[in-house]
Amino acid sequence: MDGHILVVGSLNMDLVVQAPRHPQVGETVLGGGFGTFPGGKGANQAVAAARLGGRVRMIGRVGADAFGRQLIDGAAAAGVEVEFIRQDPEEPTGVALITVDPRGRNTIVVAPGANGRLAPQQLEECAQAFEGLAVLVLQLETPLETVKAAARMARERGAKVVLNPAPAQPLDDELLADVDYLIPNESELALLSGRGDLASGVRVLLERGVRGLLVTLGEQGVLLAAEGGSRVIPAYKVEAVDTVAAGDAFVGAFAVGLVEGLAPEEAARLGNAAAAVSVTRRGAQPSLPTRAEVEEFLAGRREAAR
């Protein structure tokens, strides 16, 4: 496979506050530092893949406002082809309100804005973006009908389809049949499968016909699930300061691995490495490493293991 990666998904401006802990309902917590970072699961995954050397296009939608311009420029600076990102004349750019606790854990509320108006019609207008496609990458911060239409268009062109079902919502078998690799985290797996424990959640999804299932397990790594048996590919041990976009770093890197012809297990190792570097840095897109940074990180680990 030597084609490109297409991301159809969201772009958000992230408004991030450091907090001593996450507030309870009805509670006000006095926080610390504040930062504004380019984010959105779609854009993060596109930037992650481009920084790792992938040829990446994105179809998305922002507002005709300053945040929208910043997000487009930021993605372009990372090497993403941005000509298929449109500016909506009526809705503002999506925004994510994020709190990060001292252990690097986050809570996120997204106001989708223009992302909510990424309609199937825009896919038709941007059909050129699907030419020469190797891997389509999808999430669930844009309308489900658009996600389904994109998956179908990619399959019709013989491309692989990767779906990160975040934020989680119930999915029908028709969409799952168009997906080659489903990459939920544990809470997303629980919602999709209706089962609270990992093993039964995996079993339910495999029974529903999911072909490739990778469940990200935070600092434990990722579970590569298959009919014949599952195995965990461990995460790298690092000092996490901010896990925002860890999942996106993983997904973007996994897509690059697939395009490079790596087996899913090896692509997942690349994902673990990129995500490990990302959690040692603050912010979504600023935290996503280049290929050289990932190689340097891995070389350091090999050196330390001698």
User: Mind telling me the catalytic residues?
Assistant: 248
272 binds, among ligand ATP, ligand RIB, none (CB under 5 to 8 A by kind): ligand ATP
Select 219 or 266, whichever has its Cβ closest to ligand RIB: 219
Query: Could you say which of 82, 96, 251, 259 contacts ligand RIB (CB under 6 A)?
Result: 96
Query: Could you say which of 141, 178, 180, 188 contacts ligand RIB (CB under 6 A)?
Result: 141
> Which of 116, 100, 117, 98 shows the shortest CA–CA distance to 108?
98
List the beta strands (DSSP E) in 151-197. 160-163, 181-182
Query: Could you say which of 58, 153, 284, 288 contacts ligand RIB (CB under 6 A)?
Result: 284
Residue 254, burial from CB neighbour count under 10 angstroms (0-12, 13-18, 19+): buried
Q: How many other CB atoms are found less than 10 A from the CB of residue 265?
A: 13
| Nearest-angstrom CA–CA distance, 251 and 5 | 12
Q: How far is the CB of 235 from ligand ATP (least distance, A)?
A: 4
Query: Could you say which of 65, 81, 219, 293 contacts ligand ATP (CB under 6 A)?
Result: 219
240 binds ligand ATP (CB under 6 A): yes
Q: How far is the CB of 44 from ligand RIB (least distance, A)?
A: 5
Inter-residue contact 145 to 121 (CB < 8 Å): no
Query: Could you say which of 244, 249, 253, 276 contacts ligand RIB (CB under 6 A)?
Result: 244
41 binds ligand RIB (CB under 6 A): yes
260: left (phi over 0), alpha (psi -120 to 50) or beta: alpha
Select 88 or 248, whichever has its Cβ closest to ligand RIB: 248
| Nearest-angstrom CA–CA distance, 120 and 40 | 19
Q: How far is the CB of 287 from ligand ATP (least distance, A)?
A: 10
285 binds ligand ATP (CB under 6 A): no
Kind of pairing between the strands at 94-100 and 231-234: unpaired
Of the candidate spans 14-22, 46-54, 218-226, 285-293, the one that interacts with ligand ATP by CB under 6 A turns out to be: 218-226
Q: How far is the CB of 216 from ligand ATP (least distance, A)?
A: 3
| Nearest-angstrom CA–CA distance, 69 and 47 | 16
| Nearest-angstrom CA–CA distance, 205 and 173 | 10
Interface residues with ligand ATP (CB under 6 A) are: 106, 166, 185, 216-219, 221-222, 235-236, 238, 240, 243-248, 250, 272, 275-276, 279
